[in-house]
Amino acid sequence: MDTKPWEKYLGADDRAVLERGRFARRMGFGIRPAVVVIDAQRYMVGEEGNDQNWPSSCGAIGRSALKQIQRVVEQAQKSEVPCFFTTFELDSNGGDIGVYGRKRDLLDSDHWCLAGTVGAELVPELRPGKNDIAFVKKKPSGFHGTPLLGYLIDRKIDTVVVVGGATSNCIRATVFDSSSYNFRTIVPHEAVFDRIAVSHAISLFDMDRQFADVVSVADLLSYLRECDGK
């Protein structure tokens, strides 16, 4: 990876702590990867020039990451690496929102994540292929209350690539679960995005230090190309 987005936030003391604890070695790629695309939905990336009407849009940062996500998904589909697409959807009557409804207003908008609205749709740039599965989740992690884990075991996956958004919320929760289940977990940093720059950078730092490899999209694409035909 050329640049580490978090370096500017660390001081000499922090580097000494990392050295002493011998953190941040490389997990490395395994031999059977899958790509998990988290919440690549319209409500997450909004609309150019109109983001003020998309209350949870990550704006230009989201749309830029989406181009990188497309590259990852295209190469994965070409190499017959399975892709799993989550979408986050809530019922408009609030029946399934749980305690999250206490932190956020349940927004009455077609541009948010309500089931059946345009906001909840997968972005049109991404389409599940013949080896892929899309499913709804109700919580940050792509594993929580979903069939994802069994899909990965069934396909003998050992390496989980996580892309989408937001870095500090759904990406991070998915990465926690993936590495806790002992999958090698890979985060290509240009293919994840967040509303808040410092949250994005520090979540990448925390994940790379303890339970995932943060890599460049270029390095990930090289690896996925090597998987072709295996």
List Cβ neighbours of 181 (8 Å cut-off, separation of 6 or more): 143, 149
CA separation for the pair 91, 116 (Å, rounded): 9
According to CB under 8 A, which one of 133, 225, 226, 228 is a site residue for a copy of itself?
133
* Three-state helix/strand/coil letters over 109-127: CCCCCECCCHHHCECCCCC
Of 71-79, 115-123, 201-209, 216-224, the window that binds a copy of itself (rule: CB under 8 A) is 201-209
Q: Specify the residue, 56 or 68, whose C-beta has the smaller distance to a copy of itself.
A: 56
Q: Does 124 bind a copy of itself (CB under 8 A)?
A: no
Q: Which residues between 167 and 196 bind a copy of itself (CB under 8 A)?
A: 168-169, 172-173, 176-177, 179-185, 195-196
Q: Which residue stretches of the chain are H helix?
A: 12-21, 42-45, 59-78, 100-103, 148-154, 172-180, 197-210, 217-227
Q: Which residues between 143 and 162 bind a copy of itself (CB under 8 A)?
A: 144-151, 153-154, 156, 158
β-strand partners of 163? 37
Q: Does 78 bind a copy of itself (CB under 8 A)?
A: no
Site size toward a copy of itself (CB under 8 A) is 72
β-strand partners of 162? 36
Q: Does 95 bind a copy of itself (CB under 8 A)?
A: yes
Q: Does 14 bind a copy of itself (CB under 8 A)?
A: yes
How many angstroms separate the first and last alpha carbons of the chain?
Answer: 26
Q: Specify the residue, 191 or 202, whose C-beta has the smaller distance to a copy of itself.
A: 202
Peptide bond into 166 cis (omega under 30): yes
According to CB under 8 A, which one of 117, 209, 216, 219 is a site residue for a copy of itself?
209
Residue type, 159: T
Q: Does 17 bind a copy of itself (CB under 8 A)?
A: yes
Smallest gap, in angstroms, from Cβ of residue 167 to a copy of itself?
10
Q: Specify the residue, 33 or 71, whose C-beta has the smaller distance to a copy of itself.
A: 33
Q: Which residues between 98 and 117 bind a copy of itself (CB under 8 A)?
A: 98-100, 102-105, 107
Distance of CA 90 to the CA centre of its chain: 19
